[in-house]
Structure 1
Amino acid sequence: MAGWKTAWRSFYYAGAPEAADPVLAKGKVALLVIDVQNTYLARAADRASLPPLEQAREAAWDGFHDRMHGTVIPTIARLIGRFRADGNPVLFARIACLTPDGRDRSLSQKKPGWNNLFLPHDSDASQIAPALAPRHGEVVVTKTTDSALTGTNLRLILANMGITHVACTGIFTDQCVSSTVRSLADESFDVILVEDGCAAGTMELHLREIEILNRIYCEVMRADDLVRYLPA
């Protein structure tokens, strides 16, 4: 893989100059962890007991879970530790409905199919994975939308905190992460998307979306690259 400045180029940026180094100031760069919740890490206790179609569906997610536990969660945990140690804010977003029947969910979370999400805010399924649990005093926004900005006051929170750069991690690259990155860019935040801190249902979907977002809405880099630019 080439360096981040020339990697993950789409048609639009195939011949463009290298990206510039980000200038990150202490206290003005935040880490945002998006939707790494228990519901997405749950697996069938006994796959062999499932009907054949459900077994196949469960097996199709093996790559996602391998990436989450082998790459994404360890990467996010390392970044959380670094941001906390340096005094740079860590924020979290999670999907959860506030009403008992879920009628406050956005249309995209009510449509039939995989994205039909009913996650009561106090349920275990809606909680952030324990390996990445927020500390007391860290901001956690609850959303019923894909974008972490659209359905919350996160934009106002970031502005009030003086944040200029947001490093985005989480799931799913091609859904809530993508929607959040685009919203942040539209609100004139500088966005860094941490490639090894994100996952989609498949690597094909992940890489396709990374390429679409790169340079237009964010700068894509890996965690090691980001750490080199972080102010101590």
Structure 2
Amino acid sequence: MSWKTNYRSFYYQGAPEPDDIVLDPAETALLVVDIQGVYLVPSEDAAQRDAWAPFRERMNDVVIPNVAKLIDKCRSQELEVMFARIACLKDNGRDRSLSQKKPGWNYLLLPKDAEESSIVPELQPQGDEIVFCKTTDSALTGTNMRLILQNMGIKNVIVVGIFTDQCISSTVRSLADESFNVVVVEDCCAAATKELHDHELEIINMIYCHVVSSDEVVSFLKPQK
């Protein structure tokens, strides 16, 4: 199986295979979304801790190692590596979007200088790599990312991170609506459950992005002259 036939939704059953993908490093950025320490801390509640155990296992054993390798590859090819993290500017979170103020699981109060809002140690930005702070699910909607990408001549965005069915999906849809070519790396992403992860990839694939593996995306990078 390959990215050309995987993750097909009802809408794309039997559709022609897409053209090969070629990513020019000068026009491509890697965007790492919301891989922050707060999501990897086990809950004090035993039931919640057990329910989220598969997610933490996937993050520690699959997603974070694969993202680290992809970051290294992109840096070696001189692709722009960018990060987005959920982080409000006001300590009381007054500047958050409504979706992050509502009661429930998605209620997030992560001030920008709080340890809980930091990117995990394995994936720390280096040098002048850009880090966007957002209080929205979409990293494009809640920041000046669109302007930055356009100013830098970026046409293709490789998206990795969490959660597949929330901030990844919202970011991908926003990027697609702004006419960026988007590639989502499935083994560099996670949702709360594998079922949610797979289902969301089927929904966004072929319409808003192409869903590929980390090995496949590396093969798309055009060799530098």
Unpaired runs of at least 5, structure 2:
none
C-alpha separation between the residues in 2 aligned to 1:26 and 1:97?
32
Q: 3-state DSSP class of the match of 1:74?
A: helix
Q: Aligned residue pairs: how many?
A: 223
C-alpha separation between the residues in 2 aligned to 1:9 and 1:80?
27
Q: What per-residue deviation string (whole Å, max 9, x for no partner) do you get for residues 162-201 of structure 1?
A: 1111000000000000000000000000000000000000
- 4+ residue segments displaced more than 6 Å: none
Paired amino acid for 2:66: T
Cα pair 1:86 1:231 within 8 Å, conserved: no
CA offset at residue 26 of structure 1?
A: 2.3
- Residues 1:119 and 2:110 are matched in the alignment: yes
TM-score of the pair, normalised by structure 1? 0.95
Cα pair 1:170 1:199 within 8 Å, conserved: yes
Q: What per-residue deviation string (whole Å, max 9, x for no partner) do you get for residues 78-122 of structure 1?
A: 010000001111000000110121100000000101110000100
Paired amino acid for 2:102: K
Alignment-derived partner of residue 156 in structure 1 = 147
- Residues 1:68 and 2:59 are matched in the alignment: yes
CA offset at residue 23 of structure 1?
A: 2.1
Q: 3-state DSSP class of the match of 2:57?
A: helix
Alignment-derived partner of residue 23 in structure 2 = 24
Matches within 5 A, 1:1-232: 2-44=1-43, 54-232=45-223
TM-score of the pair, normalised by structure 2? 0.97
CA offset at residue 62 of structure 1?
A: 0.7
Paired amino acid for 2:14: G
Unpaired runs of at least 5, structure 1:
45-49
Paired amino acid for 1:165: N
Give the share of equivalent positions with the same residue, in percent: 58
C-alpha separation between the residues in 2 aligned to 1:90 and 1:100?
28
C-alpha separation between the residues in 1 aligned to 2:144 and 2:66?
27
Q: 3-state DSSP class of the match of 2:222?
A: coil
C-alpha separation between the residues in 2 aligned to 1:100 and 1:9?
43
Q: CA RMSD in A?
A: 0.8
CA offset at residue 57 of structure 1?
A: 1.3
C-alpha separation between the residues in 1 aligned to 2:222 and 2:122?
25
